[in-house]
Chain A
Amino acid sequence: MARLAASRPSRAEKKPFLTPRRREALTGYIFALPFIFGFLALTLGPMIFSLYASFTEYNIVNPPEWIGLGNYDFILRYDEEFRISLKNTIYYVILKTPLVISISLVLAMLMHIDLPGQRYFRTIYYLPTVLTGVAAIFLWVWVLNPEGLLNRGLGLLGISGPNWFFDPAWSKPGLIVMGMWYIGSPILIFLAGLNGIPTQLYESAEIDGAGPLRKFWNITIPMLSPTIFFLVVTNIIGAFQVFNSAYVVSTTAHASAGAPAQSLLFYEVYLYIRAFQHLEMGFASALAWILFAIVMVVTAIQLWLAKRWVYYES
Chain B
Amino acid sequence: MPAIAGKEEARSVSVSWYQSRKRQDFIKKALAFIVLMLGAVMFIAPFLWMVSTSLKAQANVFSPDWIPDPIQWRNYPDALRSAPFLTYFKNTAIITLFATVGSVLTSSLVAYSFARLRWPGRDFWFGVVLATMILPGVVMLIPRYILFSQIGWVNTFLPLTVPPWFGGGAFFIFLLRQFYRGIPMELSESARIDGAGELRIWWQIVMPLSTPALAAITIFAFNGAWEDYFGPLIFLNDESKYTLQLGLTTFAAGGGGVPLWHWMMAASLVVMLPVIIIFFLGQRYFIEGVTLTGLTGR
A136 to B112, CA, bound (A): 36
| Given A133-B245, A255-B256: A152 touches B64 (CB 8 Å cut-off) | yes
Shortest 7 CB-CB distances between A and B: which pairs? A38-B166, A28-B119, A46-B143, A28-B117, A35-B167, A135-B268, A31-B113
The answer to whether B106 touches A34, judged by C-beta atoms less than 8 angstroms apart, is yes
From B246, B267, B295, B297, A132 is in contact (CB under 8 Å) with B297
Q: How far is the CB of B284 from chain A (nearest CB, A)?
A: 10
Q: Does B152 contact A (CB under 8 A)?
A: no
Q: Does A275 contact B (CB under 8 A)?
A: yes
Given the known inter-chain contacts A31-B113, A230-B294, A255-B256, please indicate yes or no for A128 contacting B43, CB distance below 8 A.
yes
User: From DSSP, what is the main secondary structure of chain A's interface residues?
Assistant: helix
**Of the residues A26, A49, A152, A184, contact of B143 by C-beta under 8 Å:** A49
B82 within 8 A of A: no
**Is B182 in the interface zone, CB < 8 Å from A?**
no
Query: B28–A113 contact, CB under 8 A?
Result: yes
Q: Contact partner of B146 among A2, A237, A281, A291, CB < 8 A?
A: A281
Q: A42-B140, A131-B276 are in contact. Are A110 and B193 (CB under 8 A)?
A: no
In the complex, are the beta carbons of B36 and A111 less than 8 A apart?
yes
Is A67 at the interface (CB under 8 A from chain B)?
no
Check B95 for interface membership: any CB of A closer than 8 A: no
Residues in A lying within 8 Å of B, measured CB to CB: 2-3, 6, 21, 24-29, 31-32, 34-39, 41-43, 45-47, 49-50, 53, 60, 107, 110-111, 113-117, 120-136, 138-140, 142-143, 147, 149, 152-153, 181-182, 184-186, 188-189, 191-192, 209, 211-212, 230, 234-235, 237-238, 240-241, 243-244, 248, 251-252, 255, 268, 271, 275-276, 281, 284-285, 288-289, 291-292, 295, 299
B253 interface residue, CB < 8 Å from A?
yes
- Of the residues B43, B62, B249, contact of A134 by C-beta under 8 Å: B249
Looking at A41, A45, A110, which has the most chain B CB atoms within 10 Å of its CB?
A110
Q: Which of B109, B163, B271, B294 has most chain A Cβ within 10 Å?
A: B294
Within 8 Å CB of A49, what residues of B?
A: 143, 146-147
CB–CB B7/A189 < 8 A: no
Q: Does B136 contact A (CB under 8 A)?
A: yes
> What is the CB-to-nearest-CB distance from A195 to chain B, in angstroms, rounded to a whole number?
9
Kindly identify which residue among A127, A234, A241 contacts B294, using a CB–CB cutoff of 8 Å.
A234
B residues near A, CB below 8 A?
Answer: 3-4, 7, 28-29, 32-33, 35-36, 39-40, 43-47, 49-50, 53, 62, 64, 106, 109-110, 112-114, 117-122, 125, 128-129, 132, 134-147, 149, 163, 165-167, 173, 189, 192-193, 197-198, 202, 223, 226-227, 229-230, 234, 244-246, 248-249, 251-253, 256, 259, 261, 264-265, 267-269, 271-272, 275-276, 279, 283, 286-287, 290-291, 294-298
How far apart are the CA atoms of A289 and B135 in the complex, in Å? 11
Min CB–CB distance B149 → chain A (angstroms):
6
Bound-state CA distance A184–B193 (Å) is 46
A123 cross-chain contacts in B, Cβ below 8 A: 283
Mind listing 23 A-B residue pairs with CB under 8 Å? A2-B189, A25-B119, A31-B109, A31-B112, A34-B110, A34-B165, A36-B125, A41-B166, A47-B143, A49-B147, A130-B297, A134-B229, A138-B265, A185-B290, A230-B294, A235-B296, A252-B249, A281-B146, A288-B141, A289-B139, A291-B136, A292-B138, A292-B139
Alpha-carbon distance A114/B33, docked complex (angstroms)? 10
The contact of A238 among B62, B275, B294, B298, by CB within 8 Å, is B298
Complex CA gap A212/B32 in Å reads: 14
Within the assembled complex, what's the spacing in Å between the Cα atoms of A138 and B253?
A: 12
Q: A2-B189, A130-B279, A251-B249 are in contact. Are A237 and B3 (CB under 8 A)?
A: no
Chain B: minimal CB distance from A302 (Å): 12
CA distance A212 to B106 in the complex (A): 49
Q: Are A142 and B53 in contact (CB under 8 A)?
A: yes
Which residues in A have their C-beta under 8 angstroms from that of B29?
A: 113-115
A147–B269 alpha-carbon span in the complex (Å): 21
CA distance A91 to B113 in the complex (A): 43
Q: How far is the CA of A184 from the CA of B290 in the complex (A)?
A: 10
B-chain residues with CB within 8 Å of residue A251 when the two chains form the complex: 249, 252-253
Known A130-B297, A209-B7: A42·B272 in contact at CB below 8 Å: no
Give the complex CA separation of A165 and B294 in angstroms: 31
Most buried by A among B128, B139, B267: B139
CB of A218, distance to nearest CB on chain B (Å): 15
Q: Which one of B62, B142, B192 has the highest number of Cβ atoms from chain A below 10 Å of its Cβ?
A: B142
Q: Given A34, A53, A191, which contacts B166 in the complex, CB threshold below 8 Å?
A: A34
Residues of A within 8 A of B256 (CB): 255
Q: Cβ of B287: which chain A residues have Cβ within 8 Å of it?
A: 122, 126, 188
Residue in A3, A29, A132, A292 whose beta carbon sits within 8 Å of that of B193 in the complex: A3
